[in-house]
Amino acid sequence: MGEEVEAALALFASFVMEPEQVRQIVRWDMAVLKESPWYRQILEEGLQQGLQQGLQQGLQRGRQEGLRQGVLEGRREDILHLLRVRFDPTGPALESIAERLAAIEDAGLLQDLLVAAIQVESLDVFQRRLPEVGGE
C-alpha cells in the first residue's frame, strides 16, 4: 500500500516538478509506478481516448475524401452528359474522353472543362482541351 501511495504522490508531483526532482525527493521506481492500478487506469483511459480520436479523425478524413471524389465524379458525369447532348459522340470517342476525364483529379480543371463543353463548337475542339492521360 505504501508503494502505491508513493507512486501516486510521485505521479502528482510530476505535474508541477521536473521528473528528475521528483526522483530525488521520492524513491520513485518506474516499475512500481507501472504496476500501480492508477497508472494502469490512466494508461487505459489514454489508450481509449487515443483510439477514439484516431477513429474520429479517420472517419472525418474518409468523409472529406469521399465528398471530394463525389464532386469530381459528378463533374465528370456532367461533362459527358453535355457532350452527349450537344455532339452525340460515338462509343470509342466517348470512351476516350471518359478515360481522359477519369484521370483528372483537379476540380478546378474539371469545372473549366464543363464550361468548355458548353462553349466549344465541336467535339474535336473539346478533345484538344483535354490533357493526355497521365500528362495532366
Compute the distance between CA of residue 16 and CA of residue 62 in angstroms, rounded to an integer: 40
Do 117 and 87 touch, CB atoms closer than 8 A? no
Contacts of 99 (CB under 8 A, 6+ apart): 133
Tell me the CA distances in angstroms from 125 to 7, 41, 42, 87, 122, one per residue in order. Answer: 77, 68, 66, 12, 5
At 91, the pLDDT band (50, 70, 90 cuts) reads confident
Cell of 135: 500528362
Residue boundaries of the structural domains of the chain: 64-136
The pTM of the whole model exceeds 0.85: no
Kindly report, residue by residue over 43-55, the tens digit of the pLDDT.
Answer: 899 899 999 999 9
Rounded to whole angstroms, the Cα distance separating 63 from 54 reads 14
Cα(127)–Cα(110) distance, rounded to whole angstroms?
Answer: 13
At residue 135, the pLDDT reads 47
- Whether 84 has a pLDDT exceeding 70, the answer reads yes
pLDDT at 4 over 60: yes
The string of pLDDT tens digits covering residues 99-131 is 999 999 999 999 999 999 999 999 999 999 998
> What integer best gives the mean pLDDT of the chain?
86
